[in-house]
Structure 1
């Protein structure tokens, strides 16, 4: 019998790409999403509109569709918003996860791939961050992701749940225009939005202890990230499987470098405007990806220019076509 995985948050930007990768690998998928940020237009598999905090609903879905594992992507993820609305973030990212785990236990579903985040590391000093680096998140969003990992680990010890926690770094790009990032908080869409308004993009903080004074981040193409979920599923065949993986490119780019790449791809002259740093933003976070490469055989296939180019083509197809 073919495995069928429930993708919680599968109507979102990352979730839709994960579903696409599952289908390419011959793995069945069912999506549950409350559509608070996702779009049902992206879903081409069985779909249930609902909240993962509804234990009875999720239990019924798991049983009805004979689900063999869950990919948990349903969460709030804006760092700045988490600083002003911590209770909302703890409810959406922690309480709802508890409810999801409860439903999984009821339905005897014992495999989970969890969407975690590099935000669990907080301020880092190492050039490359390994999975055993101290976790000291500096914002509520990162804290909720770390607490989520703890919840899953403890449930695994108690019940035999098999899990993989994927610590995402900065996700960008798209595999197809209809799956493009519709959000307005990630760096590349924010730059596009500013250009659409005829404005120059803003750089939040130019005095960080980095080579050019702007934040440095590790960017991962969303298609590569989605494929990492398929690789993680394969690692859950062994009883007692419980691992944490960084998912990034292993190379850092500054905010200024990203904006310069957008200018190059778009064929535009861009002069970013400096602004105050945003609360909760660390100076530099770059992944060491040796663990996921060795354990799962996964490696990223796209570079920053490909991420920006795919996003630009999806955002402005007529302009990008004219530019070749």
Structure 2
């Protein structure tokens, strides 16, 4: 296949792009490099430095490529930050995606796999969360992604767009050559591993008074390689399905405190922790039911264990700073 990957210099998009090329597919990456660096573009990919809000540039590229499909990862991803500057998230995540959809429609590009989020559910009424659950985001980040899902529904209904919307939870872990590195870093596993390496004094736990067994938030963690497999399966599934909406997760949740304790075991380091007040917009529990992904995509996570996810991240994290 000939595939366009937006946000392909990032952690998830870059992992998917790399695995696509390992399977023999041709990959073109579009990334603005606002939150990534040029050296993070996977080797072997065609690279175009551009913003997906630039519709004329995208139309020209799509006309030139005539791709079999688009994998759309380009977005801002920090739920907490979205509570501070919601307008930035609606512009970057929602309005920019509309530019991409317009360019796809104008060029007859029909297959899209969208990187959505479990944040579209907000505070769930039942756990694990099915795809039929109420959609009620508790932060602008989740709302910005849900608005995209609404657009996809109408482009599908009125313009024939074939799409898969993959709602996923906490992505973690690493491949030997690629891991999680955001600037600035806000995700829990790389932050915990920074403490283990002595790069930070402690890990902060935001809230220990949630309605959970140990008071800290519970999340469903998925290995980035398993996530990448699901996106590739979804793109292939669009040959037979015109609309796919499914969760990606392990169906098992781990609390913040449990993840920290697992990291202590994996790294052999004490990893001091400090309790801080809750962050606005953080649901207590987010755990997926991934039965639809199993049924429609034939997807089964290969690395569901939190210890193994942490081990892969720890190995890469140590390599990352070995020569610094």
Task: Say yes or no: TM over 0.5.
Answer: yes
Q: TM-score range by the shorter chain?
A: over 0.9
1:21–1:226 contact (8 Å) kept in structure 2: yes
Q: Which runs of 5+ in 2 are unaligned?
A: none
Deviates more, 1:309-318 or 1:104-113: 309-318
Normalised to the residue count of structure 2, the TM-score between the two structures is 0.94
Residue 40 (structure 1) shift: 2.1
The answer for the alignment partner of 1:293 in structure 2 is: 294
Residue 170 (structure 1) shift: 0.3
Residue 10 (structure 1) shift: 0.4
The answer as to 2:33 corresponding to 1:35 is yes
Residue 319 (structure 1) shift: 9.5
2:201–2:272 contact (8 Å) kept in structure 1: no
Deviates more, 1:25-34 or 1:154-163: 25-34
For 1:47 and 1:162, the matched residues in 2 are separated by 25
Residue 193 (structure 1) shift: 2.9
Residue 197 (structure 1) shift: 3.2
The answer for the alignment partner of 1:181 in structure 2 is: 180
For 2:144 and 2:119, the matched residues in 1 are separated by 10
The answer as to 2:78 corresponding to 1:68 is no
- Aligned CA RMSD, in angstroms, stands at 1.5
For 1:198 and 1:51, the matched residues in 2 are separated by 33
Residue 141 (structure 1) shift: 0.2
Aligned length: 316
Q: Secondary structure at the match of 2:114?
A: strand
Residue 39 (structure 1) shift: 2.4
1:25–1:230 contact (8 Å) kept in structure 2: no
Structure 1 outlier segments of 4+, above 2 Å: 24-27, 192-198, 317-320
Q: Which runs of 5+ in 1 are unaligned?
A: none
The answer as to 2:16 corresponding to 1:14 is no
The answer for the alignment partner of 1:243 in structure 2 is: 244
Query: Which structure 2 residues correspond to residues 36-55 of structure 1 after superposition, within 5 A?
Result: 36-43=34-41, 44=43, 45-55=45-55
Distance 1:68 1:84, change over 3 A: same
For 1:293 and 1:193, the matched residues in 2 are separated by 34
Q: Secondary structure at the match of 1:220?
A: strand
Cα deviation 1:79-125 (Å, max 9, x = unaligned):
11100110000000011000000110111100000000000000013
For 1:317 and 1:27, the matched residues in 2 are separated by 28
For 1:94 and 1:317, the matched residues in 2 are separated by 36
